[in-house]
Chain A
Amino acid sequence: MSSDPNSTSNAAAKPADGLNDVHTLSLVVRDRPGVLVRIALVFARRGYNIGSLAVSPGAAGGFARMTITSQGNPETLEQIIKQLAKLVDVVHVADHLEHPPLEAEIALVKVGVGEGSDRNQALHEVALEFNAVVVDRGKATSVLRLIGSRDELQAALSALAPFQVQELVRSGSVVMDKGRSVLTDLLQKS
C-alpha cells in the first residue's frame, strides 16, 4: 500500500483513528511445532493483545487454520500482518476488518438459576430468543450454550446479565469467506 504522495507526514506508526476497530485475521499455517509461538511473539513484541484465538486442523492435511481477533493502532496491525505473512510457516494471512463474511463463535455461560428457581421461565425465554440450549441444569446453576456471530453473542450475553453470570467461556470467532477464495485455491493445490 502506498501513501498519499501529497501527504507531508511520513512516519509510519502514529496514533491514529481506528484504535477501537476489531480486526479478524484468518490464517492458514503449516502444522508445525512452534508455529503458534512464532505467531504469538509477533503480537507480544509490539505490545499487542490477542483478543481471541481459535486453532483447528484445516481441510487439507498438514495445515491448520487460525482465527485471531485483535484491536489497536491500525498501522501497527498492518506491520503485524506483514510480519505474520513473512513467517516461514504462515501460508496465508488475511484481515477482515469489523465484519468478516461468515463468522461464528460458541459460548458456554453459567448462570445462577437452579432447578427450583422461579426465574427458570424467564431464562427459558431468553434462551429461546437467542437460540441458546440449556446443556446443564444443577441445583443452583444452569449452563447455556450459545452459537452465533460476535454481535449475536454480545446481545445474548447482555440479555443474560440479570441472571447472575457466574462463568463464561467463549471459543473465539472462526471466520470463512463465501464462495471460492484464495484459501480454497491454496489448499486444493497442496
Chain B
Amino acid sequence: MKASVDTGAQRLIRFLEHAGVEYIFGLSGGAAMPIFDALVDSRIKLILTRHEQGATHMADGYARATGKPGVVLVTSGPGATNTVTGLLTALMDSVPVLVLTGQTPTFNLGKDAFQEADVTGITYPVVKHSYLITSAQELPRVVKEAWHVLTTGRPGPVLVDLPKDVTQGPCDAPEPETIDIPGYRIPSLPDTEALDRAATALGQAKRPLLYVGHGAVISGAGEAIAALSDKLQAPVVNTLLGKGAVDETGPLHLGMLGMHGTAYANKAVVACDLIMSIGGRWDDRITGKVDAFCTDAVRLHVDIDAAEFDKTVTSHIQLLGDARRTVEALLPRVRPGDTGAWLAQCQAWREQFPLTFESPDDDHLRAQHVLSRLNALTEGKALMTTDVGQHQMWAAQFCLTRANRMWLSSGGAGTMGYGFPAAIGAQFARPDTPVWAIVGDGGYQMTLCELATACVHKLPVKVLIINNNYLGMVRQWQELFFENRLSGVDLEGNPDFVKLAEAYGAKALRISHPSEIDDVLSEAIAYADGPCVVEASVVKEDNVFPMIPAGAAVSEMLIERPTEKLEKPSGST
C-alpha cells in the first residue's frame, strides 16, 4: 500500500509545531476548514475567538508579552478583512503576528467566488510582507520564508493567503534547507566609526537625554540602557511603548515624554543638548511641532530600520543596528562627562511639576486615583495592557512599568478595542503573571465579546473599565479646541457592565466611591478562578494633563487646564 501523502494543511501545521507555536487564535469558515481539520491532530492549542479582530489582538498580545510570534488563523473574505485592524496595529508597533487566511481555491481566484476577497491586495499596506500560495508543492518553501521574515529584523505582521486546494491538496515537496531572499538584509551592528562618533558626542554632552522607544523593548536593550544611563549619569525618558525597557521607578528615569508625558520629561526634552533615540521613531506624538523639536541638540538615532533615519527628524549620528547590541557596543566606548548640574535641574523640575490630580473626595471617583492605587497594589508585578483614550494616558502616567514586556498598548495605530484581547493573549502566554487590561467604556465595547473566550479558558485576566460614559479623549479635545461643542461622544445606552460580565459567567465588581478602591481591587487581585471585570464609575469630565496640543511645540505644553481658549490643532491629528 502506498504511504499516504500529507496535505498542504498538515505540512503547514507540522511546520508551526516545529517552530514552537503553542497557540493559534482564530475563527473558522469554509475556506480554512482543511487547516482547522489538521489542527485536530496537533499539539498546538486552538483558541476560538468570537471575532477575528480579537484573534489578531490576542496574537499581538501574546507576541508582545513573550517576543515570540503570535499566530492567527481565519477564513477567507470577511474573516480575512476582519484582521485588517489587527494587522495595522501590529505593523505600526512592530509586532510579529502571522495571519493565515483561508482563500477560495486557485481555480476560483478572481471570479468573485463565494467569500472571495483579494486579501493580499487589501492588506499590502499593513503587512511587513505577504504571500499568496498557488500550489501545495510551494507551501513548505513559502511558509519557511514567511517565518524567517516574521522572526528577524524589525518585526511586523506577515500574512499568508492559503487557497483551499493548496491546503487540501497533497504536498510531498521536501522541507527546504535554505532560504533565498537576496533583497532582505538584517542589520546587526553599526560600524565602529559611527559608534566612536556617538561615544564622543555622548561624552561631550552637558545635558544628555536617552529617549527609549519600543525598539529597546523588542531587542531587550533595557539593561544595557540602564548601564549606559548610569555610566553617563544621563536621564532616561521613554515613549508610551518604551515603558518597561528601563525601570520607570529608577532615580534617573523621568517617565514618559510626549503629548501626555510628564512635565519634567518634556522640560528635559526642551533643554537637553543631546538626545539619543534608542528604538524610537520620533513620532509626532513625541516631537509635536517638528521644526521646533530639539533644534539645538545633537541628535543621535539608533534603529534597526534604515528607513526611520531622517524620516521626521534629521539626526547627526545614525546607528543602524539592533538596539541592545548597539548600546552594548557603546558602553565600553563612552567616557562620562559632567552632568551634575543637569541632573539637579531635572530633579528640580520633578519636584516643581509632579504628576497630580485633584484630591479625591467621596463623591468624585477619579480615574487617576484608581490607577495609582492599582499601581500600588499590584507592586509592579502585573502586566498591563490598555485600550486607547484618556484611561490609556492616565495608566501610562500613574502605573509605572518596571520590567520589559509588562506594558502593552496600541501606540502607532491607537486601536480602540485592543486592550482586552491583548490581555487575553498575554495571559495565555504568561499564565503565572497577573494581567490587567485597563480599558475605556468605549473601546471595551468594541471587543468585549472575547469575555466568552476568557471565560471558556478560565483565564484569570482582570479588566478595569474606566467608565466615564464618554468617548473621553475626543470629548476632551472638543472641550479644549472646539468650544466644548460635543459631537458624537456621549455613550448613552452603555450597558450595566457588571451584569453583562456576569452574563458571560465572569466575576464582576464595581467601584463607585474612592473609599471602595482598595477593597475592590484587592478582591479582584485575589480572585483566580477566571476573568474578573471591575467597573470604576469615574467622574465624566476629567481631562488628561500635561498635554502638548497636537502640532504645537513641546515647550507649549499645558501642565493644567488652560484658562484661555485654544487654537484648533493644525500640525497633526
Contact = CB atoms under 8 A, between A and B. Distances in A.
B124 interface: yes
A79 B121 CA distance: 23
A3 B183 contact: no
B132 A33 contact: yes
B295 A10 contact: yes
Contact of B181 (A8, A12, A88): A88
Interface in A1-54: 1-3, 5, 7-13, 29-30, 33-34, 37-38, 41, 45
Contacts of A88: 128-129, 149, 181, 183-184
A156 interface: no
A86 B295 contact: no
A186 interface: yes
Contact of A34 (B132, B181, B290): B132
A10 B124 CA distance: 31
Interface in B299-339: 299, 305-307, 309-318
A124 B527 CA distance: 93
A41 B132 contact: no
Contact of B291 (A11, A34, A38, A86): A11
A12 B312 contact: yes
Contacts of B559: none
A5 B181 CA distance: 37
A5 B274 CA distance: 12
Interface in B26-47: none
Interface residues of B, number: 35
Nearest to A13: B312
A190 interface: yes
B296 interface: yes
Contact of A90 (B124, B183, B306): B183
Residue of A2, A5, A33, A89 contacting most chain B CB atoms (<10 Å):
A2
A3 B315 contact: yes
Contacts of B309: 82
A78 interface: yes
Contact of A3 (B121, B290, B310): B310
A30 B142 CA distance: 14
Given A8-B295, A11-B312, A85-B306, A41 B129 contact: no
Contacts of B299: 10
A83 interface: yes
B44 to A, nearest CB: 26
Nearest to B146: A88
Contacts of B130: 34
Contacts of B124: 34, 37-38, 41
Interface of A: 1-3, 5, 7-13, 29-30, 33-34, 37-38, 41, 45, 75, 78-79, 82-83, 85-92, 186, 189-190
